[in-house]
């Protein structure tokens, strides 16, 4: 890897983003669907899992979107990531994969990789006439970092390549990981976000594995990716900052009763780090995860922001479904879509396995 900017990155900005969501392909489709507030979960034509509705990326056929070359054995999660990265790179302009491939990294979050691929491969090894009668071309789909690695190969991103898995908090963790890469001078720009595919296999896994206090379905799928780089680099290549990263905090809790205090601590600490008063936050994007945990998150936020203040909020899960590992990445997409220039936005995420994340963004360039 060669880097022409080894110095610390300074102010970091999101200078581009894109999404493959239940509203369609691209940032415009997501923004329009969110603005309209239209639910994007629909009845499944042929339900094979425990749910009869889901938020599916409409019309997403892998070969129709990416072509036939190199896609014969590609799984859906990888295809969603590859397509979203392509949309982002096409819209972001110069100084990226085509010009400086060694300086561009990728941090992609996922829950398990492609659950369908893992189960299909395992099933075939047990049910075929011989265990060796499995298609080796499908084996790479069973590893968690397939989507991140294939996206980098497809688009010539030769910088650091990392896969992050942290439940519902994954999108916020990926953004924070990308920020650390930049601040340590490991690359000049990073594509970061998270992906999740819908399949009957994933639906059964989520249904059987959910905690008693966690609401059931409907599930959603998709990928949201962001281009993170220094403000100076974005300006140098003619990109306008969509949002400035002001801070992030992650707190663990061991018992469900600890959810509220963990949210309060994460929010309080990240606001202090960002030098932001609660009354200055104009937009909240909580998990909207429902159930007991969702209620505790909402109560904790109501306590921190007890002033009312006329601030707005976006609740995304009820519109596009539970996108699991991609949920907080879509919350970030909602934040940059709905925030007005100069507004401070707080995104919070709660994972039932005991993690809370909180990220503060400032819409546009830092004031």
Report the distance separating Cα 236 and Cα 231, nearest Å. 9
| C-alpha torsion angle, residues 140, 210, 61, 16 (rounded to 10) | -90
Three-state SS at 41: coil
User: What percentage of the chain carries pLDDT values higher than 70?
Assistant: 96
Judged against a pLDDT cut of 90, whether residue 211 lies above it is answered with no
Name the pLDDT band for 158 (thresholds 50, 70, 90): very high
In terms of Cβ atoms closer than 10 Å to its own Cβ (0-12, 13-18, 19+), residue 108 is: buried
Mean pLDDT of 17-45: 96
pLDDT given for residue 233 in this prediction: 97
- Output the pTM of the full model: 0.94
Report the distance separating Cα 159 and Cα 103, nearest Å. 5
Region of poorest pLDDT, from 12-26, 111-125, 282-296, 329-343: 111-125
Report the distance separating Cα 38 and Cα 30, nearest Å. 11
Region of poorest pLDDT, from 2-11, 165-174, 250-259: 2-11
360: which DSSP letter? E
User: What percentage of the chain carries pLDDT values higher than 90?
Assistant: 76
pLDDT given for residue 22 in this prediction: 98
Judged against a pLDDT cut of 80, whether residue 5 lies above it is answered with no
pLDDT given for residue 4 in this prediction: 39
pLDDT given for residue 1 in this prediction: 38
Name the pLDDT band for 9 (thresholds 50, 70, 90): low
**Backbone phi, psi, residue 347, to 5°:** -110, 125
pLDDT given for residue 367 in this prediction: 62
pLDDT given for residue 131 in this prediction: 74
Contacts of 300 (CB under 8 A, 6+ apart): 259, 260, 261, 263, 264, 267
What is the DSSP pairing of strand 344-351 with strand 281-285? parallel
Contacts of 140 (CB under 8 A, 6+ apart): 73, 146, 150
H or E stretch covering 278 = none
């Amino acid at each position: 890897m060669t880097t022409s900017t080894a110095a610390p990155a300074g102010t970091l900005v999101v200078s581009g983003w894109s999404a493959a969501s239940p509203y369609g392909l691209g940032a415009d489709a997501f923004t329009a669907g969110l603005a309209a507030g239209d639910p994007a979960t629909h009845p499944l034509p042929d339900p094979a899992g425990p749910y009869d509705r889901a938020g599916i990326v409409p019309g997403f056929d892998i070969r129709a979107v990416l072509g036939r070359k190199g896609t014969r054995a590609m799984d859906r999660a990888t295809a969603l990531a590859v397509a979203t990265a392509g949309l982002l790179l096409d819209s972001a302009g110069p100084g990226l994969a085509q010009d400086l491939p060694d300086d561009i990294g990728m941090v992609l979050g996922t829950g398990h990789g492609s659950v369908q691929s893992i189960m299909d491969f395992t099933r075939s090894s047990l049910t075929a006439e011989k265990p060796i009668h499995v298609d080796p071309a499908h084996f790479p789909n069973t590893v968690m970092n397939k989507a991140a690695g294939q996206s980098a190969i497809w688009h010539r991103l030769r910088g650091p390549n990392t896969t992050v898995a942290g439940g519902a908090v994954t999108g916020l963790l990926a953004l924070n990981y990308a920020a650390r890469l930049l601040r340590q001078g490991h690359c000049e720009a990073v594509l970061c976000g998270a992906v999740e595919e819908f399949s009957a296999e994933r639906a059964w896994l989520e249904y059987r594995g959910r905690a008693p206090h966690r609401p059931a379905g409907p599930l959603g799928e998709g990928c949201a990716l962001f281009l993170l780089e220094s403000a100076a680099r974005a300006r140098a290549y003619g990109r306008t900052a969509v949002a400035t990263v002001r801070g992030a905090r992650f707190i663990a809790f061991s018992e469900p009763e600890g959810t509220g205090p963990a949210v309060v601590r994460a929010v309080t600490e990240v606001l202090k780090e960002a030098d932001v008063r609660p009354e200055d936050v104009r937009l909240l994007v909580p998990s909207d995860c429902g159930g007991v945990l969702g209620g505790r998150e909402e109560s904790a936020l109501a306590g921190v922001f007890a002033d009312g203040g006329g601030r707005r909020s976006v609740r995304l899960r009820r519109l596009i479904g539970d996108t699991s590992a991609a949920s907080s990445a879509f919350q970030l997409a909602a934040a940059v879509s709905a925030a007005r220039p100069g507004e401070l936005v707080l995104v919070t995420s709660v994972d039932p396995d005991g993690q809370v994340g909180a990220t503060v963004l400032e819409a546009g360039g830092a004031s």
